[in-house]
């Protein structure tokens, strides 16, 4: 199966490390009463909203399209994973009635409207995936009130807000409010790859309110690995047209007048590409790392981007398909079963792994399934255990995952128009930030 996609380079993708608004959503009823089933309850069997004796109804919401490109293929991943569940006989005696993934175009108002329709009209037990920047507090507050589980890429407030809420990230909460722990996986793989002690690191970050915690997290990760962070300023404008010259000059002389060993980007895609290209033109001889440029198909479709980023390392929170292995083989097989012409896109991968985690959550919640019993089972102590070798995503515990990232990452290197597998997905240990000198 080909592994290409439409280019996805918008602000929503860069939000993985830049969103610092996590934690603004109100807490839901969570793991409290085990007898309630949410005010949206109701089904043909009378047991709970979206649950009958024979099936569980699930719906998805994601930006299949948007001004910044959306996540093409986001309607395929969860569908493929749930289809395999049904082929294997369902979960606790029930098959999954999947209503498909609706397009919110990354618009918060539309996301809320679709969430209300899923609950009130479609009687969905859960929303999987819930993907993208449209998942604002208005939606997460509503879903928490109605006790509606959702799973997606954990960088929005509703996936980072309290131990008893119903919003979950397959990667935990990538940017917890306040930065209380150090996600060592942001730095450990590249430090190991470069094999240098006392690595001199410059971190380029945007001048925005959302970038502060992201910069703090990245700096702390490198300090935890014994690196010397010689430059870390949130000063790059987020406007459309930026003169990168002064930022290039700052980085080039950041190591006591000389070049750093590694330049790391906590930055929007356009700034990452622009400054990487500018540093190369200025004669920079070190290495580059970013967290956003793994987008299958991007390099083939954008030769200028490929040229600018050539040689850069990219850290991901899931296993890129280029590594292969049993987890990737199973995903490709599942996708082909529902759509033989589908390609493995970023949207497919994110939604497939979201659904894979939710399958294990349903299994853990047991046969007597209600929204409240689900919340009690998962927020009362649940561990997702990935299958396959190498794993597609990392092990993750809840409720800890509401306030901490899964400290797992893989590493690829851009080589021309390809992604070269460098370090397969590996999980590390989150470290209290007070235990890392200079990080807090």
Question: What are the pLDDT tens digits along the chain (440 aa)?
Answer: 433 333 334 333 444 444 333 334 444 433 333 333 344 433 334 469 999 999 999 999 999 999 888 999 999 999 999 999 999 999 999 999 999 999 999 999 999 999 999 999 999 999 999 999 999 999 999 999 999 999 999 989 899 877 889 999 999 998 777 778 999 999 999 999 999 889 999 999 999 877 788 899 999 999 999 999 999 999 999 988 999 999 999 999 999 999 999 999 999 999 999 999 999 999 999 999 999 999 999 999 999 999 999 999 999 999 999 999 999 999 999 999 999 999 999 999 999 999 999 999 999 999 999 999 999 999 999 999 999 999 999 999 999 999 999 999 999 999 999 999 999 999 999 999 999 999 87
Beta strands 313-316 and 287-290 are parallel
Please give the biggest Cα pair distance in the chain: 72
pLDDT at 366: 96
Residue 156 backbone class (left: φ over 0; alpha: ψ -120 to 50; beta: rest): beta
CB burial readout 58-75, b (16+ within 10 A) else e: bbbbbbbbbebbbbbbbb
Report strand pairing: 431-432 vs 181-182: antiparallel
Which residue is associated with the tokens 């490390």?
17
Q: What are the structure tokens assigned to 77, written together? A: 């991943």
Q: 94 - beta bridge partners?
A: 91
For strands 418-427 and 408-415, give the pairing. antiparallel
∠267-152-264 over CA atoms, to 5°? Answer: 20
Give the list of residues 6+ apart from residue 405 with CB closer than 8 angstroms, or none.
154, 171, 172, 173, 174, 175, 176, 181, 183, 185, 430
What pLDDT score was predicted for residue 214?
Answer: 87
> Partners of 96 in the beta sheet?
56
Chain-centroid distance, C-alpha 352? 12
Rounded distance, CA 159 to CA 153, Å?
A: 8
pLDDT score of 47: 65
Q: What is the CA radius of gyration of the chain?
A: 21
Structure tokens at 72: 């093409």
Predicted pLDDT at 164 = 86
Q: What are phi and psi of 79, to 5 degrees?
A: -55, -45
Q: How many CB atoms neighbour CB 357 within 10 A?
A: 23
Q: What is the pTM of this model?
A: 0.90
Q: Between the CA of residue 323 and those of 45, 192, 281, what are the distances in Å?
A: 45, 18, 31
- What length is written for the chain? 440
């Amino acid at each position: 199966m080909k592994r290409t996609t439409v280019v996805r380079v918008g602000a929503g993708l860069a939000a993985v490390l830049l969103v610092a608004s996590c934690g603004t959503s109100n807490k839901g009823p969570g793991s409290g009463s085990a007898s309630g089933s949410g005010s949206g309850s109701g089904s043909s069997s009378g047991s709970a909203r979206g649950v009958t004796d024979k099936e569980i109804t699930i719906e998805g919401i994601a930006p299949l399209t948007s001004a910044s490109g959306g996540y093409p293929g986001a309607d395929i991943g969860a569908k493929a994973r749930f289809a395999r569940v049904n082929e294997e006989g369902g979960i606790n005696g029930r098959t999954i009635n999947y209503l498909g993934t609706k397009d919110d175009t990354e618009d918060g108002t539309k996301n809320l409207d679709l969430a209300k329709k899923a609950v009130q009209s479609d009687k969905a037990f859960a929303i999987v995936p819930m993907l993208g920047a449209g998942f604002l507090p208005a939606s997460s507050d509503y879903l928490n009130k109605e006790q509606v589980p959702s799973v997606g890429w954990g960088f929005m407030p509703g996936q980072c807000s309290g131990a008893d809420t119903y919003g979950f990230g397959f990667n935990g909460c990538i940017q917890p409010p306040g930065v209380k722990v150090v996600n060592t996986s942001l730095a450990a793989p590249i430090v190991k790859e470069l094999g240098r002690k006392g690595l001199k690191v410059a971190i380029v970050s945007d001048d925005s309110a959302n970038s502060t915690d992201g910069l703090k997290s990245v700096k702390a990760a490198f300090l935890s690995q014994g690196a010397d962070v010689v430059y870390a300023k949130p000063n790059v404008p987020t406007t459309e047209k930026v003169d990168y010259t002064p930022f290039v000059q700052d980085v080039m002389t950041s190591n006591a007048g000389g070049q750093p060993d590694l330049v790391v980007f906590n930055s929007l895609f356009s700034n990452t590409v622009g400054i990487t290209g500018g540093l190369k033109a200025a004669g920079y001889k070190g290495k580059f790392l970013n967290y956003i440029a793994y987008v299958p198909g991007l390099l083939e479709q954008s030769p200028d981007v490929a040229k600018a980023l050539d040689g850069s390392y990219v850290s991901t929170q899931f296993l890129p398909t280029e590594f292969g292995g049993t987890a990737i083989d199973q995903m490709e097989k599942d996708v082909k079963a529902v759509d033989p012409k589908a390609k493995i896109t970023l949207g497919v991968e994110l939604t497939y792994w979201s659904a894979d985690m939710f399958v294990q959550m349903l299994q853990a919640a047991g046969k007597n399934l209600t929204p409240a019993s689900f919340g009690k089972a998962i927020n009362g102590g649940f561990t997702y255990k990935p299958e396959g070798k190498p794993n597609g995503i990392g092990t993750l515990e809840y409720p800890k995952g509401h306030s901490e990232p899964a400290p797992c990452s893989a590493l690829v290197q851009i080589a021309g128009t390809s992604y070269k597998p460098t370090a397969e997905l590996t999980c590390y240990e989150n470290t209290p930030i007070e235990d890392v000198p200079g990080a807090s």
